[in-house]
A = this chain, B = another copy of it.
Amino acid sequence: MKIYDNPPIELWAELCARPVQSDEGLSARVGAILERVRLGGDGALRELALEIEGKAPASLEFSAAEIEAAAGKVSPEVKAAVKEAAANIEAFHKAQRPSEVVVETAPGVKCIQKPVPIAKVGLYIPGGTAPLFSTILMLAIPARIAGCSEVILCTPAQSPEVLYTASYCGIKRIFRVGGAQAAAAMAYGTATIPRVDKIFGPGNRYVTAAKQMLGLSRVAIDMPAGPSEVMVIADDDASPAFVAADLLSQAEHGMDSQVMLVCRSSAFAEQVQREIELQTAALDRSAFVQGALSCSRTVVFRDNDDAVAFAEAYAPEHLIINTARPWDIASRITAAGSVFVGSYSPESAGDYASGTNHTLPTCGWARSFSGVNIDSFMRKMTIQELSREGLRGLSGTIISMAEAEGLQAHANAVKVRLDESK
């Protein structure tokens, strides 16, 4: 990791840049897949599976027997872990439930903001060597708390943990479909896979591109997706071993992950670098780690003001604050997905079990997006009820504004109600 000692503010934009992914030809390929699924439904899903994975599944949906059998293959330790993590995630997300807001803004004018669940949601979990079943907890539990009436899962993963966790969270329908075609199936619906109102979950760049394209016209999506990232702010009192372990836990996600260290001295940065080398030697995924570290940076600032300003400019998905007085910094942060305060709050605690959600905005989207939370599965609808006197009270205001905007019929809708002789 290259060290930048007290970089001038003109350099910050460059230091905050994320690794660029080249997408040439991607949208055309993904667009073609979406169109095939829209027109061809289940048949297209089978053909695509044959073309891409080399075989079409006998059934697009996992059977109840398959789901039950999966539970037998999951270790008791993992089952206990799922149970504990689920309980914490449930406790934190239940506390987030919004209340109905009722205000009489003027006599006879009642305004209500009513939270309602999004009816149908679709979750996606990618495949790979070790599918991330923890993400199911992060999506299915808030969906259930919100009261969504239908929650389905699409996944190419042949993983007992995935099936077990989905079933544990109450998901009844799990489909054996992956990639852009899974997103298309949930957005358009097929004979087998129901159409949903919103799609959640991570994926490779095909899935991400599909979600973006479908999100323009067809279905809501959770948030823009990008490679995962962490920023650690540490002072000289922090343990270089802890800091190195946190940076590595992010770096092992993939070649395009980014890790950023903000510290007080080059000497500390060098201690962390030595720890990284020591700890990396013992890791299986060291190729990913090397890739991620090559686009990562260490920045040295001598005071909190600069560190806070730089963190806000970067807007990290995960921000770990490992300093002697971490709240001096934490209380000033606004642009981060999730913040980890103090020496004993590693990112992996939030990734799995503290109760916070790990589906978070990346790539600087933490300036404008929240991570997944109970709101992601609900909408807020407004309702108003005016009495005749309430409408009379507002009539002058409505008519003046409507006429100034040239909207005569808007004014008439009030006049006709107050002029009538009944």
Q: Which of B103, B349, B414 contacts A414 (CB 8 A)?
A: B349
Task: Select the stretch in A1-9, A41-49, A50-58, A361-369 that faces chain B.
Answer: A361-369
User: In the assembly, how many copies of this chain are there?
Assistant: 2
Question: Quick check: which of A64-72, A127-135, A169-177, A263-271 contacts chain B, the rest being far away?
Answer: A127-135
CB of A353 within 8 Å of the partner chain? yes
Contacts A118-B368, A367-B119, A381-B337 given; indicate if A346 touches B105 (C-beta within 8 A): no
Q: Which chain B residue shows the least CB distance to A361?
A: B379
A236 CB to nearest B CB, Å? 15
Distance from A323 Cβ to chain B, minimum over Cβ atoms (Å): 13
Q: How far is the CA of A325 from the CA of B354 in the complex (A)?
A: 47
A69-92 with Cβ < 8 A to chain B = 75, 77-78, 80-82, 84-85, 87-88, 91-92
Cross-chain contact B105 with A391 (CB below 8 angstroms): no
* A32-40, A299-307, A404-412: which lies at the interface: A404-412
Tell me the dominant secondary structure on chain A's binding face.
mixed
**For this complex, into which size category does the number of interface residues on chain A fall?**
35 or more
> What residues make up the interface of A, taking CB atoms closer than 8 Å to B?
75, 77-78, 80-82, 84-85, 87-88, 91-92, 95-96, 98, 101, 103, 105-106, 109, 111, 113, 116-119, 129-134, 161, 197-198, 212, 216-217, 219-220, 224, 239, 241-242, 245-246, 248-249, 251-253, 279, 282-285, 289, 326, 330, 333-357, 365-371, 373, 375, 379-388, 390-391, 394, 396-398, 400-402, 404-414, 416-417, 420, 422
25 A-B pairs within 8 Å (CB atoms) are namely A81-B400, A82-B401, A84-B397, A96-B380, A109-B355, A129-B406, A131-B405, A132-B405, A133-B405, A134-B405, A161-B405, A197-B367, A220-B365, A279-B416, A283-B412, A284-B408, A285-B406, A285-B407, A334-B381, A337-B381, A337-B382, A338-B383, A339-B384, A352-B397, A353-B394
